[in-house]
A and B are shown apart, each in its own frame.
Chain A
């Protein structure tokens, strides 16, 4: 559990600000796989399990937009996740998976819940970034809910502030692998 929690899986401890600052630079994927290898594996899984593509809806539940920058980077021509069969769709009604960022601000709580409800099952939810895990630096206050899983059920947690694109793909792989079960 401990090793897992460092990269993916339940975010056990609350990170201090010091850690938060370091996090983006010191976290390194636990696997020895390269980005391309993970991408290939992801593609195989997606083809096998879903037929063609994995449709993702990104939901910003009050992030600082740092996580959005990295998620958007997945679609640039260097990371180019589209070639692994990953497609960002514009409606939750077309989505298999929700990528959710932010500490779930209270003003986004209802919208997040509605987005979740509008996503057809079976669905996966990934919480992206330190904020989404437990509120991160924004913590548990009047204005936040202290983590996406306080609002909707979460399957996979990707820490980092923000997580690097490689880590996002690693998280997607873990999530897709879960789908089988």
Chain B
């Protein structure tokens, strides 16, 4: 690993910033650059993002004052197509501000605001000074992720008003929507400024579902956090618990048995299938095509029943554990999976062909909710939303985990074909519709090719004691896109810091761009076509 990708980056950054970097070290596929002075982070991050074309993957703030590290911020970058994560690490000491990098890395804005709310560190230079996670009714000076903050604290409510961006002019009206929506969906607020039916501006306001997941993990046993990870976003339970378990396994240096790896892959793909089918159904509903939605939802239900037979939960809770999986897939269940997925795939194919032949549906999807490649790149979006506009990112391939490495063999010809297909994708709702159809089929293939399970067991024993203050990054590709879980151990087998960044957090900002040439009635369709989680964003 060190010889290939990592080494080159280390050389490049070292030669350019040798006097600014205190030291660097490796941790599997992570390379950590420790920076001397916080004032240099903008230059270094800017170089990594703009010149080396690496995507900002996440920013992690920690309170390490009690163990002598001060407040520490870790900027994590990832380069598409290479299994490398670059960490730019800087300690602020006891200072409670740090320079914002928004001017060169636009995607950093939300992370910086999150750090300001949760840790009370001010990003100097970030133009958006409004609260993000802690809404206006939270008093000043409450910083949940600081170590002295007790998780049980009940803070008094205060009155306050959130400043939405105001669009003014003749005939412009505002439409506030949410947080309680019209459908059976999660809470969030959308503020439309409209001229007639046309959307002039959309502002999304989230974090209504903030449940203190990251803080909560610090008070739980590491094994218990697996259940918590599953409940970050119920429909992404396998992806999130896999990412969490992998982070812990990486830092404990545990080798997961091959059988467990394949079982993880199978469940991850089952999760993708039922969710993608559900989203396609939801898009049909929002385009007013009830028949298509009804048929697809039957297929989703079938898959959920299969889930239940396999692991006891319709939404795949309880599959993972640290070191492997809890859930065995016996021979008869392997047969059942083949049989049921085969049946569902047949019906799905027929349905997909039927839907694509319906002009009224296609007409609604085409050119609706269109995003540009440039905006998608600047905002660093991931998953289906990125692939629909031809940005070829997929954690399963870029950072192979579970047993995905075995599915990655592409002949040069296939790679070229894939690339041509990518280039054709327009970034509208239609392309997201098609990407999902393709991915459902791919998932069925992956499952079929993963069922030759090895017989080496379900999980590896994990060491009883964890070394404190070790960290590692775990990752997975949920049906929405990349989910990143960073874990740092504390004393006495505890978790010192658990940072989660789901695909939804990366992708929500694109929504405001996607609707900018649409009319209000298209919004539900556009929203559904991205299929983002509120809970997974709000944590």
Contact = CB atoms under 8 A, between A and B. Distances in A.
Q: Do A and B bind? A: yes
A153 interface: no
Interface stretch (A6-14, A34-42, A101-109): A101-109
B208 A62 contact: yes
Nearest to A115: B180
Given A110-B137, A142-B152, A65 B210 contact: no
The secondary structure that dominates the B interface is loop
B268 interface: no
B314 A70 contact: yes
Contacts of A62: 187, 208-211, 535, 538
A107 B207 contact: yes
A144 B185 contact: no
Contact of A25 (B137, B209, B313): B313
Interface string A71-107: 1110111110000000010111000000000110111
A65 B155 contact: no
A50 interface: no
Interface residues of B, number: 54
Contacts of A121: none
A61 interface: yes
B234 A69 contact: yes
Contacts of B297: 76-77
A21 interface: yes
Interface residues of A, number: 53
A137 to B, nearest CB: 6
Given A21-B318, A142-B151, A63 B210 contact: no
Contacts of B137: 106, 110
A90 B524 CA distance: 13
B214 to A, nearest CB: 10
Contacts of B155: 142
A90 B235 contact: no
B186 A65 contact: yes
A57 B155 CA distance: 30
Interface stretch (B106-114, B223-231, B509-517): B223-231
A111 to B, nearest CB: 5
Given A77-B294, A164-B314, A61 B231 contact: no
B120 interface: no
A102 B184 contact: no
Contact of B152 (A20, A70, A140): A140
Contacts of A20: 227
B313 A141 contact: no
B154 interface: yes
Interface string B72-105: 0000000000000000000000000000000000
Given A21-B227, A77-B294, A107-B210, 18 more contacts: A24-B312, A25-B318, A60-B209, A63-B234, A68-B184, A68-B234, A71-B184, A76-B300, A90-B183, A105-B210, A108-B179, A110-B137, A111-B180, A137-B227, A142-B142, A142-B153, A142-B212, A143-B144
Interface of B: 135, 137, 142, 144, 149, 151-155, 179-180, 182-187, 207-213, 215-216, 220, 224, 227-228, 231-235, 237, 294, 297-298, 300-301, 304, 308, 312-315, 317-318, 533-535, 538
